[in-house]
């Protein structure tokens, strides 16, 4: 998901005060430093709350007592989004959403139209390109339900209580349901499974549901002969036309075989008692109406089927075309990717190293190339949205076709039997010979019904469905999904080792993998023994592996096509494992002792974060909240200060507290 944090916004309860805005550039490592109790750690809770969290972890008292609304501005390649939620102590159900090319922060949200939090999450699901299908292909809820944007929070935040926690690797992996959902999500976020695979799982689920139904009918057929329902309906119509069921009521759509046979069992007795029955007036006309009704239904169903086939064909062509177009755009955008980096290096006035003349031409040409790059990026985003809409429409059309074809098969079966009976009746002019023949057939079919015939047609349908299910299972190929997941995990493990070495983790060359089953890290020693994160020991190792894991994952997410994970990562107090004594006792010091081992290791943290920005071509936004100041990252590329909350400056302005 191509989205970064552009602003965090707080609206005061006092109407005479302006909103508090914390701005971000979205580029590189952005640091907010300050003293304790200045509100730094609340930033993660504010962003998580605005992104639809069901619980609010924003601290009470000063922050909640002075704030009416909390909001964030998300920046995508094509627009900005303002997402806000009211202070839960006022009304946690109120939310606000605004989108535009550029968002102007309003003075107040109280008079603006509100929406539900569920609508916010639904909108973010669409923006992230998450499939509207559950992992099982159905409509289940809970950990087996559809993936949600809320699930991505596990990869977006490293709060202070987790960044060096030996027992918890991911944010909000604190309940059994969250843990199971996170395990289910990993194949999707790693790119081993996509929306098309979930769609095939949905088709398979529909076919398996129909299979269970048909097998149940076959079992019921052997027990009660339910398949004779249509047969007895035709006999009932023919018997009424011959005047054998003068007192019978019109059959309903919900009539069962037993209701038809209750009348048909009377026919042989009536013929025996009255061998010359009177033909009921209007019986032939009723037969004609029944035939006309069935032909009309057949024509209508056939028309619907043809219409959906045409739409499906056009959708497939359009989907192939848009996919090719999107791939071409992505290639062009990747070729222009270095432009943004080059733009930051070229000065407005550039002095030629040969002739020493000053010119602005380079800056102008780079600006033109940047405009072309932004144009490609916007088009790629539009193509991805079209692809998701086409996939959803295709799934609906295929589901409609299955139902329509099943209904058409039943109607045509009824027509064949009724037309055969009608032609035979007309040719024989309702002779007594034909009447007795019909009675004989009814008696014969009732005997078969009572004997519960096995039903070869139903067996054929079941065989067809089983073949379709086997084909889909082969197309889904769970073994291939597992293989891709293993390869992705291996690639992430290699990146973890790279960052772990920079961070100074002990024995960083040991092979490491994410243990998805237990949601922890598994590190293998030279003898093949596996140590889990909690067994490795030392806060510095735990912190190092937490950072390395999240950085490696985000590096992988940016390689996954249409990844649902946003391009930002919030980290709170990554230096807590070895906070320098000088800074710990005097966080306002301007001349810390930079030759201590702890300060060197603190610097390694920022060097690793800078390395992640470089390896992701500056597409990853990292926000660090910490006590340390500029000396800790001085000279490290792509690390810059956002705000310093000391000497009275904090998240909540002093003039809000009056």
For residue 290, pLDDT beyond 90: no
pLDDT range class, residue 376, cuts 50, 70, 90: low
Domain count, the chain: 1
pLDDT range class, residue 420, cuts 50, 70, 90: low
- Is the Cβ–Cβ distance between 424 and 437 less than 8 Å? no
User: Mean pLDDT across the chain, nearest whole number?
Assistant: 81
The phi, psi pair for 434, rounded to 5°, reads -65, -40
Examine residue 270 and state whether it is found in any structural domain, yes or no: yes
Which are the contacts of 265, defined by CB distance < 8 A and separation ≥ 6? 446
The terminus-to-terminus CA distance of the chain in angstroms comes to 41
pLDDT range class, residue 585, cuts 50, 70, 90: very low
For residue 651, pLDDT beyond 90: yes
Question: Higher pLDDT residue, 163 or 175?
Answer: 163
Question: Higher pLDDT residue, 135 or 489?
Answer: 489
317-333 mean pLDDT: 73
Question: Higher pLDDT residue, 457 or 465?
Answer: 465
C-alpha closest to that of 202 among 488, 35, 395: 395
Which are the contacts of 656, defined by CB distance < 8 A and separation ≥ 6? 12, 13, 14, 17, 20, 66, 67
For residue 46, pLDDT beyond 70: yes
Owner of token pair 């799934």: 395
* 39-43, 428-432, 453-457, 462-466: least confidently modelled range: 428-432
Examine residue 246 and state whether it is found in any structural domain, yes or no: yes
Examine residue 70 and state whether it is found in any structural domain, yes or no: no
pLDDT range class, residue 108, cuts 50, 70, 90: very high
Which are the contacts of 131, defined by CB distance < 8 A and separation ≥ 6? 146, 147, 194, 195, 198, 199, 391
pLDDT range class, residue 456, cuts 50, 70, 90: low
Alpha helices in 504-617, H assignment, sequence order: 533-536, 539-557, 581-585, 597-615
What is the reported pLDDT for 92?
A: 77
pLDDT range class, residue 64, cuts 50, 70, 90: very high
For residue 274, pLDDT beyond 60: yes
For residue 125, pLDDT beyond 60: yes
For residue 595, pLDDT beyond 50: no
Examine residue 430 and state whether it is found in any structural domain, yes or no: yes
What is the reported pLDDT for 572?
A: 94
For residue 279, pLDDT beyond 60: no
| Half-sphere exposure (Cβ direction) of 400: Cα atoms closer than 13 Å | 17
156-170 mean pLDDT: 92
The tens digit of pLDDT for each residue in 170-186 reads 998 877 878 888 888 88
* 75-89, 128-142, 301-315, 433-447: least confidently modelled range: 128-142
Examine residue 462 and state whether it is found in any structural domain, yes or no: yes
Examine residue 341 and state whether it is found in any structural domain, yes or no: no
For residue 425, pLDDT beyond 60: no
CA 470 to CA 475: how far, in whole Å? 9
For residue 385, pLDDT beyond 60: yes
184-193 mean pLDDT: 86
Positive or negative CA dihedral for 526, 528, 531, 532?
A: positive
pLDDT range class, residue 132, cuts 50, 70, 90: low
For residue 16, pLDDT beyond 80: yes
For residue 405, pLDDT beyond 50: yes
For residue 591, pLDDT beyond 50: no
The tens digit of pLDDT for each residue in 521-580 reads 999 988 889 999 999 878 889 999 999 999 999 999 999 988 899 999 999 999 887 765
Examine residue 239 and state whether it is found in any structural domain, yes or no: yes
What is the reported pLDDT for 344?
A: 64
Question: Of the ranges 167-181, 314-328, 376-390, which is most confident?
Answer: 167-181
The phi, psi pair for 301, rounded to 5°, reads -65, -40
- Is the Cβ–Cβ distance between 287 and 422 less than 8 Å? yes
What is the reported pLDDT for 359?
A: 65
C-alpha angle 264-267-270 in degrees, rounded to nearest 5: 150
Question: Higher pLDDT residue, 59 or 305?
Answer: 59
CA 598 to CA 595: how far, in whole Å? 9
pLDDT range class, residue 137, cuts 50, 70, 90: very low
Work out the number of other CB atoms within 10 angstroms of the CB of residue 654: 9
The tens digit of pLDDT for each residue in 242-267 reads 777 777 778 877 787 777 878 888 88
CA 309 to CA 174: how far, in whole Å? 48
Q: Can you give the pTM of this predicted structure?
A: 0.64
For residue 583, pLDDT beyond 80: no
* 29-43, 186-200, 505-519, 642-656: least confidently modelled range: 186-200
For residue 605, pLDDT beyond 50: yes
What is the reported pLDDT for 162?
A: 92
For residue 226, pLDDT beyond 70: no
Alpha helices in 452-538, H assignment, sequence order: 456-476, 478-503, 533-536
For residue 143, pLDDT beyond 50: no
What is the reported pLDDT for 294?
A: 73
For residue 493, pLDDT beyond 90: yes
Examine residue 615 and state whether it is found in any structural domain, yes or no: no
What is the reported pLDDT for 579?
A: 63
* 132-141, 205-214, 285-294: least confidently modelled range: 132-141
For 325, counting Cβ atoms within 10 Å of its Cβ (0-12 exposed, 13-18 middle, 19+ buried), the class is middle
3-13 mean pLDDT: 96
CA 497 to CA 503: how far, in whole Å? 10
What is the reported pLDDT for 633?
A: 92
Give the SS3 label for residue 185. helix
What is the reported pLDDT for 487?
A: 93
C-alpha closest to that of 71 among 5, 126, 143: 5
Range of the domain at 470: 200-304+407-475
68-74 mean pLDDT: 96
What is the reported pLDDT for 584?
A: 45
361-373 mean pLDDT: 70
């Amino acid at each position: 998901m191509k989205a970064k944090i552009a602003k965090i916004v707080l609206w005061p309860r006092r109407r005479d005060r302006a909103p508090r805005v914390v701005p971000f550039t979205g580029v590189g490592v952005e640091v907010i430093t300050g003293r304790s109790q200045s509100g730094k750690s609340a930033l993660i809770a504010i962003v998580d709350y605005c992104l639809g969290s069901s619980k609010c972890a924003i601290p009470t008292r000063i922050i909640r007592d002075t704030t009416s609304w909390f909001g964030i501005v998300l920046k995508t390649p094509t627009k900005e989004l303002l997402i806000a939620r009211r202070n839960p102590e006022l009304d946690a159900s109120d939310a606000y959403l605004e989108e535009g090319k550029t968002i102007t922060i309003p003075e107040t949200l109280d008079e603006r139209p509100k929406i539900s939090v569920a609508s916010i999450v639904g909108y973010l699901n669409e923006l992230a390109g998450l499939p509207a299908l559950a992992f099982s292909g159905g409509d289940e809820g809970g950990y087996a339900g559809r993936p949600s944007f809320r699930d991505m929070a596990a990869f977006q935040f490293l709060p202070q209580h987790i960044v060096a926690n030996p027992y918890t690797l991911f944010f909000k992996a604190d309940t059994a349901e969250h843990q199971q959902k996170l395990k289910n999500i990993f194949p999707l976020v790693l790119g081993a499974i996509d929306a098309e695979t979930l769609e095939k799982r949905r088709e398979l689920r529909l076919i398996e549901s129909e299979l269970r139904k048909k097998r149940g009918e076959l079992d019921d057929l052997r027990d009660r002969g339910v398949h004779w329902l249509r047969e007895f309906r035709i006999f009932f119509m023919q018997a009424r036309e011959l005047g054998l069921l003068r007192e019978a009521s019109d059959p309903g759509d919900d009539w069962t075989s037993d209701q038809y046979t209750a009348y048909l069992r009377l026919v042989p007795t009536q013929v025996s008692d009255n061998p010359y029955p009177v033909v009921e007036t209007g019986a032939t006309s009723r037969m004609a109406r029944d035939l006309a009704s069935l032909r009309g239904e057949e024509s209508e169903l056939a028309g619907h089927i043809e219409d959906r086939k045409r739409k499906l064909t056009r959708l497939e062509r359009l989907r192939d075309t848009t996919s090719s177009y999107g791939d071409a755009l992505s290639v062009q955008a990747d070729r222009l990717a270095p432009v943004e980096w080059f733009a930051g290096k070229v000065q407005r006035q550039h002095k030629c190293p040969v002739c020493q003349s000053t010119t602005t031409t380079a800056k102008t040409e780079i600006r033109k190339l940047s405009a072309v790059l932004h144009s490609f990026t916007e088009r790629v985003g539009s193509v991805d949205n079209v692809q998701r809409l086409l996939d959803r429409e295709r799934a609906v059309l295929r589901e409609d076709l299955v139902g329509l074809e099943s209904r058409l098969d039943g109607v045509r079966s009824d027509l064949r039997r009724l037309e055969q009976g009608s032609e035979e009746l007309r040719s024989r002019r309702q002779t007594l010979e034909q009447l007795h023949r019909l009675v004989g057939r009814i008696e014969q079919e009732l005997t078969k019904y009572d004997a519960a015939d096995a039903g070869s047609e139903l067996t054929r349908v079941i065989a067809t469905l089983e073949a379709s299910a086997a084909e889909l299972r082969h197309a889904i190929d769970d073994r291939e999904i597992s293989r891709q997941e293993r390869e992705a995990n291996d690639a992430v493990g290699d990146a973890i080792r790279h960052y772990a070495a920079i961070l100074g983790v002990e024995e960083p060359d040991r092979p490491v993998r994410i243990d998805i089953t237990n949601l922890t890290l598994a590190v293998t020693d030279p003898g093949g023994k596996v140590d889990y994160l909690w067994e490795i020991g030392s806060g510095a190792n735990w912190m190092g592996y937490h950072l390395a894991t999240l950085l490696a994952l985000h590096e992988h997410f940016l390689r996954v096509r249409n990844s649902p994970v946003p391009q930002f990562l919030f980290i709170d107090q990554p230096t807590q494992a070895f906070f320098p004594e000088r800074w710990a006792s005097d966080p306002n010091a301007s001349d810390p002792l930079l030759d201590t081992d702890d300060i060197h290791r603190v610097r390694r943290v920022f060097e690793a974060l800078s390395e992640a920005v470089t390896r992701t071509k500056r597409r990853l936004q990292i926000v660090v909240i910490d006590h340390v100041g500029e000396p800790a990252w001085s000279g490290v590329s792509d690390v810059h200060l956002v705000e310093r909350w000391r000497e009275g400056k904090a998240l909540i302005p002093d003039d809000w507290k009056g």
